Amino acid sequence: MSSGPRRVVVTQRFFDESATDYLRSAGCEVAVTELAPGQADGDLGPEALTALLRGASAWIVGHARVTRELLAALPDLQVIARRGVGYERVDVQAARELGRVVAIAAGGNDASVADQAIGMMISVGRRFGEAQARMRAGAWSILMGTDLYRKTVGVVGLGRIGRSVVQRLSGFEARVLVVSPRPDPDYAAQTGVTYVDLPTLLSESDYVSLHAPLTPATRHLLCAEPLAAMKPGAFVINTARGGLVSDRDLLEALRSGHLGGAGLDVFESESDPSLQPVTEALIALPNVVAAPHAGASTREGLARTNMIAARCVVAALEGQPLPPQCVVADGRAGSTNP
């Protein structure tokens, strides 16, 4: 271990003692930011972040924007570790050019998000939210639901979470269609999935579950035309990123009765507050099951991602290699990482 304390700033809630103790055992000083009720680090502006992070060697971050300007104002900051797997809010090129390390907590929340995706399929298909609301109002009449058992499920994106969803669907004897930029014949032979193009997946799937990263190519992957091409009565499940779906178009597809419902953990309004009325209209629909981007937020999932982020911080500060799947950018001199 190098001598002298290294200050690690955590701007995420629910950072547990095990991860904190690990950092301290490695000679780090740990500062966990106290956020106001309902506040996330994504709500903090550049000035507030600069003040919090001044002199810090590492930052364990949630959804705050990591810009070139912010990094330039923090010359001591060596490591940015996301307690999650998305990094679209990080200027990766700037981090690399400025000699910083950017890491994600790959593998920590796969099971938690996959569980939520399956839970949303069952909940919206069986109309649990509608039934409970009616019971609270005194109406105990039975609502007819839809099975997940032996249905056709389309999985868009076959990374760690997508594969975890596929694994869980085997217990429902589902027919699984997959859209992926890199079809894997061996994986298809092992699991029984069928690789198809997006139009085929949309037209044949009873449930469409999104697990793709948000890129310029995938933004509004489901907008008016693809949503109209979906099987009538089908369900959209989005536990990935809000921008994969045009929420306005989804709202209209649900209001028209073309789609059976949706399970949504992410919304476009997370990055575009002007769309908050659309989000509110979506979550007010009886056939929408919603959560506030909470797919990874289980005790077990957060404990895993906290520790992965902590281990990445220590490895980077010690000049050691990070797990390859966790490295987004490594601007250290002589690094062979991306």
Q: For the segment 190-215, what is each residue's pLDDT rounded down to a tens digit?
A: 999 999 999 999 999 999 999 999 99
258 is catalytic: no
Q: What is the mean pLDDT of the segment spanning 227-235?
A: 98
Q: Residue with structure tokens 């629910």?
A: 14
Burial class from Cβ neighbours inside 10 Å (0-12, 13-18, 19+) for residue 320 reads exposed
| Residue spans in the chain of domains classed CATH 3.40.50.720 | 6-108+298-330, 110-290
134 is catalytic: no
- Whether 257 shows a pLDDT value over 50: the answer reads yes
CB 47, CB 97: distance < 8 Å = no
Catalytic residue of the set 163, 270, 304, 311:
270
Q: How confident is the model at residue 176 (pLDDT cuts 50, 70, 90)?
A: very high
3-state secondary structure of 207: strand
- Whether 2 shows a pLDDT value over 50: the answer reads no
CATH topology classification for 110-290? Rossmann fold (3.40.50)
In 3D, which of 86, 16, 103 has the Cα closest to residue 300?
Answer: 16
Name the pairing type of β-strands 261-264 and 235-238: parallel
- Whether 1 shows a pLDDT value over 50: the answer reads no
Catalytic residue of the set 63, 82, 293, 311:
293
293 is catalytic: yes
In 3D, which of 292, 237, 310 has the Cα closest to residue 40?
Answer: 292
CB 60, CB 108: distance < 8 Å = no
3-state secondary structure of 135: helix
Contacts of 272 (CB under 8 A, 6+ apart): none
Catalytic residue of the set 65, 100, 241, 304:
241
Q: What percent of the chain has pLDDT over 70?
A: 97
How far apart are the C-alpha atoms of 126 and 143, rounded to whole Å? 8
3-state secondary structure of 10: strand
* Neighbour count for residue 170 (Cβ, 10 Å): 12
* Neighbour count for residue 210 (Cβ, 10 Å): 24
- The least confident of 171-175, 186-190, 334-338 is 334-338
Query: What are the pLDDT digits (tens) for 274-300?
Result: 999 999 999 999 999 999 999 999 999
- Whether 4 shows a pLDDT value over 70: the answer reads no
- The mean of the pLDDT values for the chain is 95
In 3D, which of 262, 240, 318 has the Cα closest to residue 27?
Answer: 318
- Whether 336 shows a pLDDT value over 80: the answer reads no
- Whether 3 shows a pLDDT value over 60: the answer reads no
Amino acid 335: pLDDT: 65
- CATH code: domain 6-108+298-330 is 3.40.50.720
Amino acid 337: pLDDT: 67
Can you give the pTM of this predicted structure? 0.88
Q: How confident is the model at residue 53 (pLDDT cuts 50, 70, 90)?
A: very high
C-alpha dist (Å) from residue 237 to 18, 127, 139, 179, 256: 33, 14, 28, 15, 18
- Whether 186 shows a pLDDT value over 70: the answer reads yes
Q: Which amino acid is at 110?
A: D
Amino acid 38: pLDDT: 82
For residue 104, what are the β-bridge partners?
82
